[in-house]
Amino acid sequence: MLDTAVGHARAADARLGLRAGSAVRAFYAPGCAPAWTTPADSLNADAYAALRLLARAAEYGLPADYASAALLALRDSLRRPAAPDPRARQLARLEIGLSDAVLRFMHDLHRGRLHPDVEPSRASGVGEQWQPAAGLRSALSQNQLGKAVLSGQPANREYRQLQQALARWLARPGSLDSAAVRRAQYETAALNLERWRSQAWAPVAEYIFINLPAFELQVVAFDSVRQRHRVIIGKPVTPTPTLISSAIHYFTLAPDWHVPHSIATKEMLPQLKRDPGYLSVNNLELYDDRGRWRNPYSVRWAAVSVQNFPYRIRQAPGCENALGNVVFRFPNPYSVYLHDTPARQLFAQPVRAFSHGCVRLAEPLALAAYLLRREGRPVRLPSEAECARQPQPRDVRLGRPLPLFVRYATCVGEGGRLRFFADVYGRDEALRQALFGAVARR
């Protein structure tokens, strides 16, 4: 059945209904020994274990279409008598059908259903490429089927906690919520597991995780949360970008603020056209493109436009500086950073999407102290009053940069339970339709 000498492999796969044909051929090469059936024309213990595992696909946020009706019908047909030749063909179709289902399940757990041809970023550059067929064959010889099938999942704490919470949620009786509400909750958890399959990071012992919909920063070390901080993120029109991977290399005490060009031209220029005194009132200074100070009253602002703005605006350190008392720097292509803010009353709001894209942090000096403690350095940070009085910015370089990840997760697992957050940037629906609209096509 798997022989492609008489035709193209794709045509052979279509004829057999295989969706992981190349992996199935790799699994049976070179000897084509049966893996799931016995000489007595029945399924072995591994086959029944595999079918039970496939029936639990919903626990991993995947549609329950791996153990298809056709595959189960082949299984049930073994109970009926048949001549030797038809029975041999039945067993062969059941063999390759079950292998196809298991390998497809493994593939989807590893890469997700929506990007089947893209290797996850967590796997790039880490040893050899994941090989499900070889892993499955080895596992069957060692009675480790379940471990092998689930081995390709993301290993990061956030994925594991969400998957385990979803499995517990499904095991509990339905609540008083309607079936539609329960289905929507399940899909939200599932689509976030799908996100993690393509966006999880390779395991690291210690890191910072910012979850945008949760408006929260977590400092995670050795699989436990050591610190939590409220954050303010970008408005929906200026969303904070997610970051595959970065790291905090240093922080600056009493920073000055170099106003981004977009803010200077779109928000400050109209104010300057009305009143050049806007700068001094807000502790801002004007410089030309050669770095020379300019008197804003000497500029003919009526002739300045968004397209022709040859100036730079800087805000000196101080109590009203937009960056507050400290800013944390990490490499990224978006020119965003993590910083304090003088507008601390906004941290009391439940929905905190107010910034231009950077992340504002509550209790930032507590994070600075953590960064110093993990390096064994004396923690001597200035008070907020001392920061405000400090005339010059001061960089504090880290000997051990701390990895930082920014993600978008509208459902997480905490304490074994599902926790949902508002879809502040409206990203869930497209993913929901792509994932659950694709069920019939798989």
> Mind telling me the catalytic residues?
339, 358
DSSP 8-state assignment for residue 331: -
Contact assessment for residue 373 and residue 227, using Cβ atoms and an 8 Å cutoff: no
Contact assessment for residue 314 and residue 354, using Cβ atoms and an 8 Å cutoff: no
Residue located via tokens 């408005």? 235
Q: For the chain, what is the total number of helices (H) and then of strands (E)?
A: 15, 15
Task: Tell me the C-alpha distance between 254 and 417, whole Å.
Answer: 41
For helices 45-54 and 84-111, what crossing angle results, to 10°? Answer: 50
Task: Using alpha carbons only, give the angle 355, 357, 360 rounded to the nearest 5 degrees.
Answer: 55
Task: Tell me the C-alpha distance between 377 and 317, whole Å.
Answer: 25
Q: Which residues pair with 417 in a beta bridge?
A: 414
379: buried, middle or exposed (CB in 10 Å: 19+, 13-18, 0-12)? exposed
For the chain, the farthest-separated pair of C-alpha atoms sits apart, in whole angstroms, at: 100
Contact assessment for residue 246 and residue 407, using Cβ atoms and an 8 Å cutoff: no
| Residue of 169, 224, 19 whose CA lies nearest to 107 | 19
| Residue of 66, 281, 37 whose CA lies nearest to 140 | 37
- Region of residue 118 (phi > 0: left; psi between -120 and 50: alpha; otherwise: beta): beta
DSSP labels for 263-284?
HIIIIIHHHHHH-TTHHHHTTE
